[in-house]
Structure 1
Amino acid sequence: MKLATQDRGFFGSTYEAKLSKLQELGFEGLEIDGKWLIEKYDEIEKAVKATGVPISSICGGYRGWIGDFDQEQRALAIQDIGAILERSADIGAAGVVVPAAFGIFSRKLPPFVSPRPADEEREVLLDSLRKLNDYAVSSGSLLLLEPLNRYEDHMINTLEDASGLIREGNFSGVKVMADFFHMQIEEWDISESLRKTADLVAHVHLADSNRLQPGYGHTDFKTGFRTLKDIGFTGYMAVECELVPGDGLKAYAEMAGFLKACMP
């Protein structure tokens, strides 16, 4: 298991400076926005070669959602993610993190009833994943399907939801992205859910139960990390959280120490 993080402004103004700084803080990779990967690819590639610190994964940076209610927005999402997948493979990243959608509807908030029937939603997701699986396989990258909690998405909330779609479509280019914050809300037993999807978990996001940096909530990272080791996970775990008030660099150094102490 390797520690990565999403970008922070205080890492530096250039990608070489960012990669060097996060390495100093105890991290081993950087998760970046897909838009920046495409627009600043040459700079990023040079920074990776100069520092030896890899781009671990890609998150965001595209229009629409793969489960969008709007067909045009869904088509844009497929188009943009397809382009990002190609660049993701070029830079050697694990893949592109993609949820079904974010914030377009929740069955736990009014009006409680989705404007699209559940069986139609599943077909929409399978269609999007089928198209993106082709992009992933042809490029040599992975689409990392992320379940979100019930208040942020209504289509894919658990690891089982994500793995069920992947298995139904037999998608070799789609894997599961397991986020400890969302799992803390949705999974009955995080370790058991990880074991059931052991063959599909390819990337991890880290935040504590309150979305703060690990160590400031009640998530049991030690047990979760032990389970990841037991199922043979060797990929990146990228920090995606809010920081406690104060010095950001100090918070990151503290976070790296905490997370490494939790690793078996």
Structure 2
Amino acid sequence: MSKKIRSAVTVSLVPEAKGGPFVFWDDLPSAIEEAAQLGFDGLEVFAPGPDAFPAPTLGELLKSRGLALAAVGTGAGWVKHRLLLTDPDAGQRRRAIDFVREMIEFGAAAGAIAGAPAPAIIGSMQGRWSGDTSKDGALGWLREALDELGGHAASHGSILLIEPLNRFETNLLNTLADGSALLRSLSTENVKLLADLFHMNIEEIDPASALVAAGDDIGHLHFVDSNRRPAGCGHIDYVPIAAALSKLNYRGFASAEALPWPNSKTAAERTIEVFRRVFGSSG
């Protein structure tokens, strides 16, 4: 196991997500090559679905360049397929769960080849409550989904990640405390939180204190700045963030889910530069 926090960078292969906060776009082999040349430890992949390309292909490509699969996103379930785990329609909820199940299998299989089964991330697929659906009702559906999906991830040797988002993207889970409260209500212990510094900058009173309070619930970190540009291009102070993660003995990834500003190459270079300054060399 790594003795330090590991660096990762994102690549999106989802056309419907254009304009979103991903450093690399469209060309998976090129993203892998650039990430390896810059010295990242892993790649976080956002694919259109589990059948976009064979899991062994992704795993072998990463392995050949010494990269881990940090995580796989499920956002295409919403932006491409319009699936939500809290959809009022039971059939749609089932389809959403099945999509995530397949992404869990994809990430676990590809990740195992590259070093270790990778977790799947649930962000936008958590949805929101509105109209005839109450918050408690939506959280109930989300709880049922996470219990099933967390168990499915465990059976494949990985974990499931749920990401609190800012108020403009959801009204279900906005803070790490919201996420921890949900985790306490689950029957599975195989779900962890994804702490995204961009969302935390909006919703948390004190991001570093929120990380410490969440403790072992933290399973992944999105390393980004206040304006969703790469780390170092906004106003986040990373010193207390690093101190909080050190206190938690956090050993997961700090993954750059950031806009490709001013372009992908510069964004990746700036990220790894700031990562090394904040966390030291990974390994």
In the alignment, is the contact (CA less than 8 A) between 1:184 and 1:209 conserved in 2? yes
1:84 and 2:106 aligned: no
> Which residue of 68, 73, 77 maps to 2:92?
73
With structure 1 as the length reference, what TM-score do the two structures score?
0.87
- SS of 1:27's partner is coil
1:99 and 2:123 aligned: yes
When residues 121 and 222 of structure 1 are mapped into structure 2, their CA distance, relative to the original with a 3 A threshold, is same
**Offset, 1:14:** 6.0
- CA shift digits 1:101-148 (9 cap, x unpaired): 47x658xxxxxx643112212211111112112211222211100000
In the alignment, is the contact (CA less than 8 A) between 1:85 and 1:96 conserved in 2? yes
Matches within 5 A, 1:31-180: 31-35=44-48, 38-40=51-53, 41-60=55-74, 61-62=76-77, 63=81, 64-90=83-109, 91=111, 92-99=116-123, 101=125, 114-180=131-197
In the alignment, is the contact (CA less than 8 A) between 1:11 and 1:21 conserved in 2? no
Q: For residues 165 and 75 of structure 1, what CA distance do their matches in structure 2 show?
A: 20
Could you say which structure has the greater relative contact order, defined with CA pairs below 8 angstroms and 6 or more residues apart? 2
When residues 213 and 98 of structure 1 are mapped into structure 2, their CA distance, relative to the original with a 3 A threshold, is same
- SS of 2:44's partner is strand
For structure 2, the residue ranges without an aligned partner over 5 or more in a row are 14-22
Structure 2 partner of 1:204: 221
Aligned-CA RMSD value: 2.4
**Offset, 1:58:** 0.5
1:254 and 2:270 aligned: yes
Letter in 1 for 2:95: L
Q: For residues 150 and 7 of structure 1, what CA distance do their matches in structure 2 show?
A: 25
With structure 2 as the length reference, what TM-score do the two structures score?
0.82
Give the % identical residues: 27
- SS of 1:30's partner is strand
When residues 11 and 209 of structure 1 are mapped into structure 2, their CA distance, relative to the original with a 3 A threshold, is closer
In the alignment, is the contact (CA less than 8 A) between 2:212 and 2:248 conserved in 1? yes
- SS of 1:212's partner is coil
- CA shift digits 1:43-96 (9 cap, x unpaired): 212212311211110012434122233333221111011111122222234301
